[in-house]
Amino acid sequence: MNIIVLAGGLSAERDVSFKTGEMVTKALRENGHQVILLDVFMGYSEREEELTGIFDRAEEVSVKVEAIPETAPDLAAVKAARPDQSDSFFGPNVIRLCRMADIVFMALHGEHGENGKIQAAFDLFGIRYTGSGYLGSALAMNKGIAKQLFLQNNIPTPRGILLRKEEAGPSGGKEEPGLPCVVKPCSGGSSVGVSIARTAEEYRAALDEAFCWENELVIEEYVEGREFSVAVVDGKALPVIEIAPVEGFYDYRNKYKAGSAVETCPADIPEETAAQMQRYAERAAEVLGLAVYSRSDFLLDGNNRIYCLESNTLPGMTPTSLIPQEARAVGIGFGELCEKLIGISLRRYQG
């Protein structure tokens, strides 16, 4: 097949997205496909041009990927570097190339890639793509809405409030949260802008940091416990994986720097606890309307209580990502996983 792997964009997870895209591109090429790794924002070339036969030059025209930095990207610099300086999110030739492909493998993370906007545009353009559709993507991306849906469907989740920037006063907000608490952007990912605040001073600093990324935040009770994740592929949960950061919590650096976390799959927890966590992951995917694959993150406290934190619609597929490890635990290699996700996605377009 001719496949576009779409990565990059303008989210705080831009660099992570490229690493996912690089891994997927390599695997799909090894499986015999002609694959172009494309930056959705920068596009291909500086002008509209003849694209006939471009998949025969797939490696030549693909984005070249660097290692993931330990800090989030400077998005203002990314915008300034775009040659055409267009106000369109889609770079030159992106829509044309995606329409030429048999399917677009969505390797995007964060804003636009996971909030449903690109999925909605592709639906209107008749472009086939992997992963969830626009509505499920939008619901899962907004942690405030997702939390309400979890609560309404008996999926346990930490207590929390929404806080908009205009509501945050000198003391920090419309409601003083109990401390310690977790402060995070409502629609962010990869733990960018997330802080644990234990004092009033740390809370105000956490608000300042999170508001650098978004104007709406989720303020949650802090639950001390072990961290887990469960992927769901085609409606069925994979084995539970435990993530134990060497230091601190599972933040941006610990997610993507090799050796920063110890990951155990299957997780060393009682069978009934693992099974319950898997049921919650499947239920979360169902109530959010997530198709093809997703990954839900959990905490398990000292009293063996499970808390669902959020669901991710386009989980990372980097060398240190979780879903490939979970798949490997049931005998599914990386290349096979990529093919499986494409096959499940294509079923939506049949008939």
Which pLDDT score is estimated for 323? 96
End-to-end, the C-alpha distance of the chain in Å comes to: 19
Which pLDDT score is estimated for 306? 98
pLDDT mean values, one per 10 residues, the chain (351 residues): 96 91 97 98 85 95 88 90 94 96 96 93 98 97 94 96 80 65 81 86 92 90 96 98 76 52 94 98 98 97 96 88 95 96 95 63
Q: Which domains does the chain have, with CATH numbers?
A: 2-129 (3.40.50.20), 140-156+224-347 (3.30.470.20), 160-221 (3.30.1490.20)
Q: Which residues contact 64 (CB under 8 A, 6 or more apart)?
A: none
Measured between alpha carbons, how far is 207 from 218 in angstroms, rounded to an integer? 10
Q: Which amino acid, 263?
A: E
Element (H, E) at 96: helix 94-100
Which pLDDT score is estimated for 169? 62
Which pLDDT score is estimated for 250? 46
What single-letter DSSP state applies at residue 129? B
Q: What is the pTM of this model?
A: 0.90
Across the strands, what pairs with 263? Answer: 243
Which pLDDT score is estimated for 254? 44
Measured between alpha carbons, how far is 312 from 137 in angstroms, rounded to an integer? 8
* Residue whose entry in the numeric block shows the structure tokens 């907004």: 142
Angle ∠(66,72,77) on CA atoms, nearest 5: 80
CA-closest candidate to residue 157, choices 245, 92, 111, 218: 218
* Residue whose entry in the numeric block shows the structure tokens 């093809």: 292
Buried b (16+ CB within 10 A) or exposed e, 250-288: bbbbbbbeeebbebebebebeeebbebbbebbbbbbebb
Element (H, E) at 196: strand 195-197
